[in-house]
Every structure is written in C-alpha cells, then in structure tokens.
Structure 1
Amino acid sequence: MSTNLIINKYKESQIKEIDRRSNISQKELIKEYIEPAIPVILTDATKDWKAMGKFTPQFFKANYSHITKEIRGKTYTLPEYIDLMLTSTPEKPAPYPFNFNLEQRAPELLDDLKPGILYSKSDRVKHPLLPKFMLKGTEVYEIFLGGNGGHFPFLHVDALFLHTQITQLHGSKEFFLFPPEQTPFMYPREENPKISQVNVFSPNYEKYPLFRQAQPIRVTIEEGETILFPTKWWHTTQIHEPCISLGRVHLNESNWNDFANDNFLSLKKYRPGMAIPALVYTKMLGQLINLQEKING
C-alpha cells in the first residue's frame, strides 16, 4: 500500500484510539491491522512467554551486572541504574533510556520471548538472505529500562522505516502517537527527518506553531501487553513507574521499499561503493520474499 493511500485511510478513519485485542489469530492480525496499517494492542500475545514474571529489576540486577550504558556522558552499570530506576521520581528522574541489544548482550534470554509475533507471513528481519549490515543503526531485539518521571528524549519515527513492536515486560509505559499525515506539524529536523524538533512535553508554540494542530493518541501499555504500529507513526514515551520493555523491529511488503531506499541513502555516506549494488539486491530480495510468502500462503 502506498504512503498516500495509507494517509488517506487514516484521514478517512480518523483514528482516535487504538484497539485492544485478545485471542486474535495471525491471519486476523494481518488482515485487520497489519495490511491496512492500523496500530493495535495485543493483550495476551505474551501469555506463554517465560520472560513474563522473570524479567524483573531484581533478575537483571542479580544476573547482568556486566552490562553498562553511557547516558548523557556518564556510564552506569545495570545494578547502579536499577537502584536509580526504583527510586526515580518526576522531580528527580533516573536518566532515560538505559537500553541494550539483547542479541549481543544476553542472547540466552531470547528463548524466553517465544512464540514471537509476526508482522507478516514470514519474519523478514530474520530472513537468511538479508545481510545484517542492512540493519545498521537499529537493534532487532532491544531492552529498555526506565523509572518514574523518565521520558524518551525526542519524538521520532523509527530508523530505516521499520515497523515497531513494544512489549511491556515489567510495569507500564505511556505512549504518545501521531499518525503519518501529521508529519507537517512535527517539524522534522533537516539533518535527520525522522526526528522532530518539537519537545512534545514542553512545546514551544511560538517557534513551532503548527504543532498546535497535532492530535496525539495517548495510550498506556500495561505489563504483559504489546503495541504494534506501522512505520511513519511519530511516537515518544513517558514512564510513571519502574518499567522494563522489549522493542522488536519488523519488515513486511509495505515498508520493504522504504527500508531499501533508506539503506541506500545511508550506504552512500559510509560505504558508497556498496550503495547501488545493495539497493538492487534488496529490491530483488523483496520480490523473492513476496513470491515465497505467496507460495506458502
């Protein structure tokens, strides 16, 4: 589906809230939400995950003291950060986010996140013919930790135009989402048009007057719930209690060309000789996967 068609659909539907669904089949999910590019909250997709009830602050503090993260020029160990996160307040919030690549830092935990949620008829991000360097700038599985009063530092669209899945493993998180047709109100940065110049939590309307017309969808994702939303939705988050989330990126037919083109632009900067061959390869791979998914039903 083209961007214009997606935007027109949003304008027609005027989405004001996001459905919460339980006991939905993969076919229903794809037909009712993925193909029409509509966000959805799944309330029970994690019911069989070993991670639920296991991935607590105490678990990470006891078992992953070697993981560190630099935030605003200061390096924290995971146990140090968890102490801050548990005592965080809106007046004195823990720095946010403390995030890390799960596949690299704790790959043994991936089995606790099954069965996975598919955003298409196949998991294209994990397709054996997709080179890993094409996912440069993003993490497939990413853990985020934060405390009361924390919020993501900027309003943005996810890297490489990937679709987004966020699952609440511990605590809740509030999301602010703006559909793609509101992009003119977001004042994208010139150097990185996937990041807004506007501070959504304290907007400067004199400097960014069009942001007055922005109409966010605000929704809180509770522990055990998963939100799925398509690329080009602007979003940021705010935290009101100790919180651990899993981020997972997705590819399907609808964002494949945007993904390929964004990779091309990135490669032109850091591996220019690879840019055109990678673009041609990715477009051909997309056609191959389309055929595979069609044959496999």
Structure 2
Amino acid sequence: MVATTEVAPPKAITQIDKRTNISRKELLAEYVEPAIPVVLTNATHDWKAIGKFTPEFFKKNYGHISKEIKGVTYTLSEYVDLMLASTPEKPAPYPFNIDMRQYVPELLGDIQPEILYGKSDRVNHPLLPKFMLNATTVYELFFGGNGGYFPFLHVDALFLHTQITQLHGSKEFFLYSPDQAPYMYPREDNDKISQIDAFNPDYEKFPLFKKAKPLRITVEEGETILFPTRWWHTTQIHEPCISVGRVQLNAGNWGDFTDDIYKLWNRLHPGHPKLAAPALIYNKVIGQVMNIQEKFSAV
C-alpha cells in the first residue's frame, strides 16, 4: 500500500483572513506552509480579466460554446440570459463551467501574472507532463446566477490546492477543515465527494454532519481565495457570478498528488499495474528535483 501524506489540521481557525498587499514571503510563511486558507484582496489588480470578463462579453464573443447540465444542453448565450434572470426561487442550473485551455486559450493572457501558492509553479513546471493532470482542469471558468450552489461538498481532485478568483460578482464559500473529514460521508466510488447536500442535509441519514462547522466567507469581485487540499468545500451564489479556478501544486501536496496519480492509474488499468509504477517513480524523482530547485530559488 502506498503511504498518504497526512496534513495536520490548522490550529483554532475561527475565520478566514482577508489580506491586502501581502508579499510572497508572508503568504508562504503565514498561510501556505501552515495550510491555512486566505483571501487576497488585490493580487489580481494587474489582470486584464477584471472588468473585461462580464456576462455581456462572453455572450457576445463566446455565446456558441455549449455545456450539458443535468441532461440539458445550453449555449453560453442562453446561459448568460438564465444567470442574469436567476433567483433563489428559480435558480439557473449550476455550474456552467469550461476548460480555458480547451475553449478560450486566447484569454489565458488576461489572468496574468500567476499567483504562486508555493516557491515555484509546479503545475506548469516543464518536468511535469500535462497528461499527469488529465483528471482535473487547470484553468476553469465558472458561470452562475443568484440562488445557485455547487452540487456537492468535495475535496478537489488529485489532492490539489485551490485558487478561485472572482472576475464578476461575488461568491460565498463554505470550508470545512481536514479534521472534520469523519463528518463528510464520502461516496463509495469517490472518497473526495460527499454524499451530503450541504444546503439541504438529511440528518437522519447523515447524523454526524450536525457536528460539522464551516468557515464562511464571501469573496468579492477582484478577490482571490486560496486554500490547501483536504479542506472540504462548496459554494453558494447570490448574484450573477463569473469566476476562474486554478489548481495549485507545491511541496506540501506533492506526496498526496503523486500517490493519487498512482491509485488512479491502477483503477483505470487494473490489469496493467506496470503502467502506474513508472508514473509513481517519476513523480517522486521530479519532486526531489523541484525541492532542490526551490531550495536555491529566491522567494
């Protein structure tokens, strides 16, 4: 059995900080290394996307993109109308999400410079083959309307850290620290997804969820929330909203990521274990290489 890296729960966190003009050194020391969530209020002040990525912009320029949600296919043009008219009583289906690299690669330059949740950008490191991240989406746009909420509590795929920036409108986040995992009732087929509807919980079926205590915070337009892997989370929307999610890799979750890739490949190719072993060895080796590189890099 492959050992899984344990992430110690943060100590006595009762709220999520909002920080302005924080340096990378402060970010690493105060939040990344101790695995504490944080909201950065102005880390994207140079992004062209802020003020540009509006519902009208996407309807005009990318209205042809389509997405199936709960068995119904919508174009982005149709969805923008739904999200603008969305109410808690009649919410637009959520999420309408697209892979930026696949559908709008020309817009990636508008979400620069990158926010680095570590000493280097391991997600885009030249030694990490892109196919290693096929089980997730590196840059993902989310569209939603008032009353919408993410359909399930979850920990992100491959134990990746999470970065979400509000490009238009705000979004409310509900985060549950890793020590509350015993209350989450994961699905049998995917232990990173809870069976619980966090906004309409069935306490008879899931009684331990009564003990779960989320940290709640609203991330406003132009703000970015960063939080480490193993934090269970979901979101709720109270106004038309466009956000971009970006996965993050660093030394803190490299072991979990490597082990999860190994387990995933064994599940996908049960009769060919030799396919997974080289990936495990390769990731362990390049992880050490990155550690050495980061040791000599300036923060």
Question: What's the TM-score, normalizing by structure 2?
Answer: 0.95
Question: Match for 1:243 among 216, 235, 241?
Answer: 241
Question: Match for 1:24 among 15, 22, 25?
Answer: 22
Structure 2 unaligned residues grouped into runs of 5+: none
1:132 deviates by 1.2
Runs of 4+ displaced beyond 6 Å: none
Is residue 2:88 matched to residue 1:90?
A: yes
Q: Distance in 2 between matches of 1:230 and 1:143?
A: 20
The residue number in structure 2 matching 1:137 is 135
Superposed CA offset, 1:106-128 (max 9, x none): 11111111111001111000011
Please tell me whether the aligned partners of residues 5 and 256 of structure 2 are also in contact (alpha carbons under 8 angstroms): no
Q: Distance in 2 between matches of 1:67 and 1:86?
A: 17
Please tell me whether the aligned partners of residues 100 and 140 of structure 2 are also in contact (alpha carbons under 8 angstroms): yes
The residue number in structure 1 matching 2:275 is 274
More helix by share: 1
Question: Match for 2:117 among 116, 119, 127?
Answer: 119
1:48-87, aligned counterparts within 5 Å? 48-87=46-85
Is residue 2:8 matched to residue 1:6?
A: yes
Is residue 2:287 matched to residue 1:286?
A: yes
Structure 1 unaligned residues grouped into runs of 5+: none
Letter in 2 for 1:285: I
Question: Match for 2:31 among 9, 30, 33?
Answer: 33
Superposed CA offset, 1:79-99 (max 9, x none): 000000000011111100000
Q: Distance in 2 between matches of 1:267 and 1:283?
A: 15
Q: Distance in 2 between matches of 1:65 and 1:212?
A: 42
Letter in 2 for 1:295: F
Please tell me whether the aligned partners of residues 5 and 255 of structure 2 are also in contact (alpha carbons under 8 angstroms): no
Q: Distance in 2 between matches of 1:40 and 1:211?
A: 24
1:103 deviates by 1.1
The residue number in structure 2 matching 1:197 is 195
Question: Match for 1:257 among 251, 255, 258?
Answer: 255
Superposed CA offset, 1:118-148 (max 9, x none): 0111100001111111112211100000000
1:3 deviates by 5.7
Superposed CA offset, 1:24-58 (max 9, x none): 11111111110111000000011111100000000
Q: Distance in 2 between matches of 1:225 and 1:125?
A: 22
Question: Match for 1:181 among 162, 179, 182?
Answer: 179
1:102-117, aligned counterparts within 5 Å? 102-117=100-115
For the aligned residue pairs, the C-alpha RMSD in angstroms reads: 1.1
1:5 deviates by 5.8
- SS of equivalent to 2:59: helix
Q: Distance in 1 between matches of 2:275 and 2:239?
A: 45
- SS of equivalent to 2:217: strand
- SS of equivalent to 1:126: coil
Q: Distance in 1 between matches of 2:221 and 2:292?
A: 37
